[in-house]
Amino acid sequence: MSKELAKTVGFTAMKDGTKEDYIIIKENDEKTARELPDRLIEHLTEMEKDDGAYKINRLEHVLQCATRASRDGADDDWIIAALLHDIGDVLAPFTHGQVAAEILRPFVREEVNWVVRHHGTFQMFYNKSLGEEDRTSREQFKGHPYYQSAVDFCEKWDQCSFDPEYDTETLDFFIPIIKRVFLRKPFENN
C-alpha cells in the first residue's frame, strides 16, 4: 500500500495524538509483529554478504549451526537459537549475544534465551589468542542452572560450524520453524 493510501495519524507530536490516532498506531504495530518472520528471513539472507575471515560466510555459519541442532533432535527453541544467535553481529560486534537474545526473548523459553545472551563469553573458551583469564571467563557462570547448556550449545553447534564441507541445510528448510516460533503469542513461554 502506498504511503498516501495507508492510514496515518493526525499529530506531529505524540502528546497531541487522539485515541483514534493511537488505534492506528496499534494496528500498524500488530502488522509489523506479523511481518517479523519475513523480516528475520530477509536479515538472515543479508548475512550472506558478511564473509569475514572464516572459511564460510555468516549465513552459512548459522545455517550449519541450526542444521547440527536439528540433526541432534533439538526442539524449535534450540533450532531458532542456533539460527539467530549471531544475528546482531555486524551492528553490535561487542554485544551481539544480547541483541539476539532480546529478539528471541518474547518467543523462547528462559534457558534458551540465557544461552544465546551469553554464548559469546562461552565461545571465548576456544579462542587461543586470548589470555587464560579471558578464555575461561565462562567460569563466572559456574553453578548457574544453564551453564552446561551454554557449554553444550557452543561445543556441539557453534564452535564447530565453520566447515565448508558440512552438508548444511538451506534457509528454506528453517522457514516453517521461523514462522512457528515468531508467530507464537509473545511472552507465553517465559
Rounded to a whole number of angstroms, the minimum distance from the CB of residue 135 to Fe ion is 16
Do the Cβ atoms of 168 and 63 come closer than 8 Å? yes
- Judged by beta carbon, residue 21 or residue 50, the one nearer Fe ion is 50
Indicate whether 158 belongs to the interface with Fe ion (CB under 5 A).
yes
Cell numbers standing for residue 128: 587461543
Of 60 and 158, the one with the shorter C-beta distance to Fe ion is 158
Distance between CA atoms of residues 57 and 51, nearest Å: 4
- As a whole number of angstroms, the longest Cα–Cα distance in the chain is 60
Q: Note whether 86 binds Fe ion by CB under 5 A.
A: yes
- Between 10 and 164, CB nearer to Fe ion: 164
Q: What are phi and psi of 100, to 5 degrees?
A: -60, -40
* Closest to Fe ion by CB, 101 or 177: 101
Say how many residues touch Fe ion, by CB under 5 A: 2
Amino acid in the structure at residue 102: E
Stretch that binds Fe ion, among 29-37, 42-50, 85-93, 169-177 (CB under 5 A): 85-93
Nearest to 103 by CA among 27, 43, 50: 43
Positions in the binding site for Fe ion (CB under 5 A): 86, 158
